[in-house]
Amino acid sequence: MQSKAPTVEAYLRSLPADRSTAIRCVREVILKNLDASYEEGMQYGVIGYYVPHRVYSKGYHSDPKQPVPFAALASQKNYMSLYLMSVYCGCGDGRPRQSTCTVVP
């Protein structure tokens, strides 16, 4: 369920007390461990953590106006979620790196 809250604090204030407490706790852990290059803000109606345009000016591939999403924290109708968008490689030159992983059946 997407929120219309314009800021993270407004989003947190809009939640029931038990949900707000839980989301605030997870948020605190995220902010303590988040790289300084990333930013927190509202994205897609939930709390988003993203690579801002000042770091990656091309933005998100399907919507270049949006910064590249990295993670999101949300209170949905029946549950709370931490979404991790870990499909991005650390490729600074735009070329995929050779994987060192071995797939074991």
Residue 36's pLDDT is 92
Residue 62's pLDDT is 85
In angstroms, rounded to a whole number, what is the distance separating the alpha carbons of residues 1 and 84?
Answer: 17
Residue 103's pLDDT is 47
Query: Which tens digit of pLDDT belongs to each residue from 39-48?
Result: 999 999 999 9
Query: Which tens digit of pLDDT belongs to each residue from 61-81?
Result: 889 999 999 999 999 999 999
Q: What is the 3-state secondary structure of 32-91? A: HHCCCCCEEEEECCEEEEEECCCCCCCCECCECCCCEEEEEEEECCCCEEEEECCCCCCC
Residues of the chain predicted below pLDDT 70: 1, 86-105
